[in-house]
A = this chain, B = another copy of it.
Amino acid sequence: MQKFNRNQRITSITKILIENPNKIINLNRFTQLFNAAKSTISEDIVVIRETFNRLSFGNIETIPGAAGGIKYTCGISKEKTLEFAEELCIILQDKQRIVPGEFMYISDIMFNPQIIQKAAVILASKFNKDNVDYVVTVETKGIPLAYEVAKMLGVNLVIVRRDNKVTEGPTVAINYVSGSNKRIQTMSLSKRSIKKGSRCIFIDDFMKAGGTALGIINLLKEFESELIGIGVLIDNIGTEKKLVRDYMSIIKFNGIDEEDNPILYPDKSFKK
C-alpha cells in the first residue's frame, strides 16, 4: 500500500474529526487507514490541534487509556459569535417578516443550513462538557437547529410530537399550558426514545414565556430523566413573565417599533 505524506494525512484526519464531533476516535483507525506509526499520527494531530486553537475552530482533546483516542469538540470565538448574532439581527430586522399577531416569519433562517450550522456551534459549545445524552426539541421549526446541536455533541436527537403517530409504538403524553396564550396543549413522545436516567438539553427556535420548555421538563420526568439546559436562537423578552429561568439565547427580540420593524439585538450575556 502506498503511504500517505503528512499533508495528505492532515487533510484526511481533519475531515474525519469534523464529521465526528464529540466522538472518541481511536488512533488505530488512522494508523490503519494511512499505514503509519502511532507517533507519526500523534504529530499530525499536534499540528491540527494547534491550528484549530489558533483560529478558534474548536478543540482536539486526547483521551488516555485503552478506550481512548482523540476527540474534536466544536468551538467559536466570542468575536465570531457576536458578529454572527449581529448579522442575523440585520437579516431579521425587516418589517416584511412580521405576520399578524406580532409573530415573526423565520422559516427561511431556521431552514438555512449555513446559518443553522453556526448557531448550533454557538449553542453546542456551551454543553460540550456536560455529558449530554440527548438533545430534545418539539416539532417543527427548531428541528434542524436541534439536530445540528445533537451532531456537535455526538448524541441522538429526540423529537417530541404534538400528535400521536402510528409508527412510534407506545407513547407517553402530557398536557401543558402554553405560557403566552394559556391554552392547554398536548405533547407526546415514544416510550423507547429516551433511556431512564438520561441528561437532556432542550433546543428550540424561539422562546416566548417558556411554556413549552416547562412542558419538556415535565415530560422528561415521566422518563425519569433530567433537563440540564435550554438553548434557543431567539428569545422574546417582551413577554412579562418567563416560566423557566436558566436558558441561553443568541438573539433578543423585543417586539416591534412604531414603524413596525422588529427590534432585535445580540444576547450580550452570551459569554464564551
What is A's interface to B at a CB cutoff of 8 Å?
4, 6-8, 10-12, 14-15, 18-20, 23, 47-48, 50-52, 54-55, 57, 99-101, 103-108, 111-114, 116-117, 139-141, 143-144, 147, 150-151, 154-159, 161, 166-169, 190, 192-193
Contacts and interface: CB of A to CB of B under 8 A. Distances in A.
Protomer copies: 2
A159 B140 contact: yes
A168 B11 contact: no
A99 B147 contact: no
Contact of A147 (B113, B156, B190): B113
Most chain B beta-carbon contacts within 10 A, residue among A52, A57, A159: A159
A168 B99 contact: yes
Nearest to A190: B107
B11 A52 contact: yes
Given A143-B143, A169-B99, A47 B113 contact: no
Query: By CB atoms of chain B within 10 A, which of A23, A51, A107 has the most?
Result: A107
A20 B192 CA distance: 35
20 contacts: A4-B51, A6-B7, A8-B47, A8-B54, A10-B10, A11-B52, A14-B18, A15-B52, A18-B18, A103-B166, A108-B156, A108-B193, A111-B150, A111-B157, A112-B157, A114-B151, A117-B151, A140-B159, A143-B143, A144-B147
